[in-house]
Amino acid sequence: MEQSMSEVMNVTDMFGRNVFNDAVMRDRLPKSVYKKLKKTIEDGAELDPSIADVVAHAMKDWAIERGATHYTHWFQPLTGVTAEKHDSFISAPSDGRVIMEFSGKELIKGEPDASSFPSGGLRATFEARGYTAWDCTSSAFLREDAIGVTLCIPTAFCSYKGEALDKKTPLLRSVQAVNEQALRILRLFGNTTAKRVTPSVGAEQEYFLVDRAKYMQRKDLIYTGRTLFGAMPPKGQELEDHYFGVIRERIGSYMNEVNKELWKLGVPAKTQHNEAAPAQHELAPIYEEVNLAVDHNQIVMETLKKVAGRHGMACLLHEKPFAGVNGSGKHDNWSLTGDDGTNMLNPGDTPHENIQFLLVLACIIKAVDVHADLLRESAADVGNDQRLGSNEAPPAIISIFLGEQLEDVIDQLCSTGEATHSKKGGTLKTGVNILPDLDKDATDRNRTSPFAFTGNKFEFRMVGASDSIASPNTVLNTIVAEAFKEAADILEKADDFDMAVHDLIKKTLADHRRIIFNGNGYSREWVAEAERRGLPNLGSMVEAIPALTTEKAVKLFEEFGVFTRAELESRAEVEYEGYSKAANIEARTMIDMASKQIIPAVIKYTTQLAGSICAVRNACPEADVSVQTELLTEASDLLSSMKVALAALIEATDKASAMGGGREQAEAYHGVVAPAMEALRAPADRLEMIVDKDLWPMPSYGDLIFEV
Ligand code: ADP
Ligand code: MG
């Protein structure tokens, strides 16, 4: 019944149906309680614990009416995925009966025994206490799946001493920091109406879909999320015929279900299209407040995976599931929105006259230049190491693309000290009478910049598809808060504000112009040019992690109360450990596949060839067996290269895994194990091109990406 009901339900009925949202709260909470809760949500006032029981009660009734049996505190530990522990609502039975209970205490605070979550030494296992605390700025929601209906309560996760053990706590701290400083900037320009400024974020999510039965035949996909072997098929993405191509039925019915699931959970899924690589797609929601956007992106990732299973497919969120074709990223669109509707990143039609915008822009340019290493670090994850700098992925060097119009304004400011005009977009003429003339944007798009200004927002494109967007936004918010603060400190004291702001913009732009680059970020010349400009080029996660604990980073994060030194050190530890663990799994998976699947298959093939040579020779001594002989020689040579490379990989992996952890171990995996993996892959991929397809022990790239 439920199924067919929801089939006919339209989007407006569906949207937010499973969310304990503002409308439901207004409906179900006593007015005074609703008001108090609203104050916390909107003004950041401290939560009044006395209202918790009432809210919990209303939440429970609402959830149970919709079939919920359990609730869970839903949190985001440093694993990068979400965690939950389910409790049913039932009370201790009396007279053999139970009632359904849920108290304010249970809503506000959870205490998962969380000793197995990564804490980077912040919490020794003998002090396993960790607390989850209700984040009322992100609505509770109901998840319906095979387990049943579960009430999910978004929470932050902290240690006994209040140290952040998750991604949400520092994010919320950074939101407070940028709010405070952004308001100072607005006040300087006479804005007295905005009471709050929040980062707005829209994350475009890329993903691959493959057939589940084929997926199950690839241990690399199962264990690591990406292929570790695989020769390129005759066709790749060179025809660009998949990008924006017609969505096929199987994929379309999947997207349809994904959208419905997301809409019910209040996630404003908006755009869907095929991406550059075969089997690659994208989903983008409408932007929201950053905290919600982060939670919703986690829900998007979970939903993409869950629904894929129902359609006989597997969704790959890995940044580079297939070598040689496009990887998957997550464009993090970021702007600053006041509660009065101001978008601080809106240049207007004549940016040269928009002094507030120019100051904001100058501050962001400065922030990104000063903390390029941190921003790069925030996008580092194990999978992204395979993607950054390769085909259709932004380079690992941070630079900013502003576009012609803003670049020109900055040129004017820096050369003559005055900006007197803004380039206009003009009209786009198609040369066809019946087509309307279109207004052109003042700036064309650029696809290769890691940090591009796109109209009224910045788009940070380095983030990996499988990663949480919490860290990149935490860094962005904090570095911009710092630049705002430094500007406000100067300007609030100025006697002549107009003069002071003009000088400050000019000086800031002159000092940090080197980070602006409008050219092709994928070119080799840019690498050399960036080096000449002194921009950091942190090519891998292992090289990026130290940025977290520099004195510069500690000073920044401590000043704005986003991370303590101990929290930063623990995060670096967690990242090294995560890297080493993932690299170890990849290496061991390769060893397993090479030893138990590929080498045996090649031996079978060479044995067949040898058999054929003998048989043909016996039957007909004058027959030409040169083809079989050549193939046999080539396959045998590659087979022996494989064996040598396999032995080397086993040795390197054993050595690395015996090390004591931390940076040194991660460096061993990056510097020694990763090249040994490449060395093993090379002969195996060549063998795949030779060996009889019937004998090859797993589906090929072609099977995976062209036959979904
Ligand atoms: P693209 O052409 O790059 O796909 P879109 O204009 O479709 O760009 O926007 C991509 C994402 O950016 C969407 O999630 C959209 O909601 C979000 N977005 C649009 N405007 C803003 C803004 N002012 N601040 C933050 N995100 C925004
Ligand atoms: Mg985009």
Q: How far apart are CA 82 and CA 168, in angstroms?
A: 11
- CATH code that applies to domain 174-563: 3.30.590.10
According to DSSP, the β-strands at 451-453 and 400-401 are: parallel
Question: Please, which pLDDT band fits residue 315 given cuts at 50, 70 and 90?
Answer: very high
- Which class for 49: exposed (0-12), middle (13-18), buried (19 or more C-beta within 10 A)? exposed
Closest CA to 144 of 221, 53, 63: 63
Q: Does any ligand 1 atom lie closer than 6 A to the CB of residue 285?
A: yes
Question: Please, which pLDDT band fits residue 8 given cuts at 50, 70 and 90?
Answer: low
According to DSSP, the β-strands at 109-110 and 130-134 are: antiparallel
- E strand map for 275-417: 280-285, 288-289, 313-316, 330-338, 400-401
Q: How far apart are CA 422 and CA 492, in angstroms?
A: 28
Kindly give the distance from the C-alpha atom of residue 204 to the centroid of ligand 2, in angstroms, as a whole number. 7
| Domain ranges, ordered by start, for the chain | 11-166, 174-563, 579-706
Provide mean pLDDT across the span 545-567. Answer: 97
Q: Which of 271, 281, 287 to mutate to test the pocket of ligand 1 (most atoms within 8 A of CB)?
A: 287
Residues 6+ apart with CB under 8 A from 488: 181, 184, 185, 188
Residues 6+ apart with CB under 8 A from 50: none
pLDDT of 25:
96
Percent of the chain with pLDDT over 90: 74
Q: Which helix (H) or strand (E) holds 451?
A: strand 451-453
3-state DSSP assignment of residue 313? strand
Indicate which atom in ligand 1 lies nearest the CA of residue 334.
Answer: 25
The class level of CATH for 579-706 reads mainly alpha
Q: Does any ligand 1 atom lie closer than 6 A to the CB of residue 329?
A: no
3-state DSSP assignment of residue 42? helix
Indicate which atom in ligand 1 lies nearest the CA of residue 333.
Answer: 26
Task: Indicate which residue's Cα is closest to atom 19 of ligand 1.
Answer: 287
Q: What is the DSSP string of 454-473?
A: -SSSEEE---BTTS-SHHHH
pTM: 0.94
Q: What is the pLDDT of residues 241-273, one digit of tens each?
A: 777 777 888 999 999 999 999 999 999 999 998
Q: Matching CATH topology for 174-563 and 579-706?
A: no
Q: Say how many Å lie between the first and final Cα of the chain, rounded.
A: 31
Q: Which of 457, 469, 477 to mutate to test the pocket of ligand 1 (most atoms within 8 A of CB)?
A: 457
Q: Does any ligand 1 atom lie closer than 6 A to the CB of residue 321?
A: no
Q: What is the pLDDT of residues 165-207, one digit of tens each?
A: 999 999 999 999 999 999 999 999 999 999 999 999 999 999 9
Q: Does any ligand 1 atom lie closer than 6 A to the CB of residue 166?
A: no
Q: What is the pLDDT of residues 475-525, one digit of tens each?
A: 999 999 999 999 999 999 999 999 999 999 999 999 999 999 988 888 888
Q: What is the pLDDT of residues 408-443, one digit of tens each?
A: 999 898 888 888 888 887 666 666 777 777 676 666
Q: Does any ligand 1 atom lie closer than 6 A to the CB of residue 595?
A: no
- Place domain 11-166 in its CATH homologous superfamily: Glutamine synthetase, N-terminal domain (3.10.20.70)
Indicate which atom in ligand 1 lies nearest the CA of residue 282.
Answer: 4
Closest CA to 370 of 485, 455, 468: 485
- Which class for 643: exposed (0-12), middle (13-18), buried (19 or more C-beta within 10 A)? middle
Neighbours of ion ligand 2 (CB under 5 A): 331
Q: How far apart are CA 186 and CA 267, in angstroms?
A: 30
Task: Indicate which residue's Cα is closest to atom 17 of ligand 1.
Answer: 202
Kindly give the distance from the C-alpha atom of residue 465 to the centroid of ligand 2, in angstroms, as a whole number. 13
Contact between 261 and 303 (Cβ < 8 Å) = yes
Indicate which atom in ligand 1 lies nearest the CA of residue 343.
Answer: 23
pLDDT of 520:
85
Kindly give the distance from the C-alpha atom of residue 350 to the centroid of ligand 1, in angstroms, as a whole number. 21
How would you write 271-307 as a 3-class SS string?
Answer: EEEECCCCCEEEEEECCEEHHHHHHHHHHHHHHHHHH
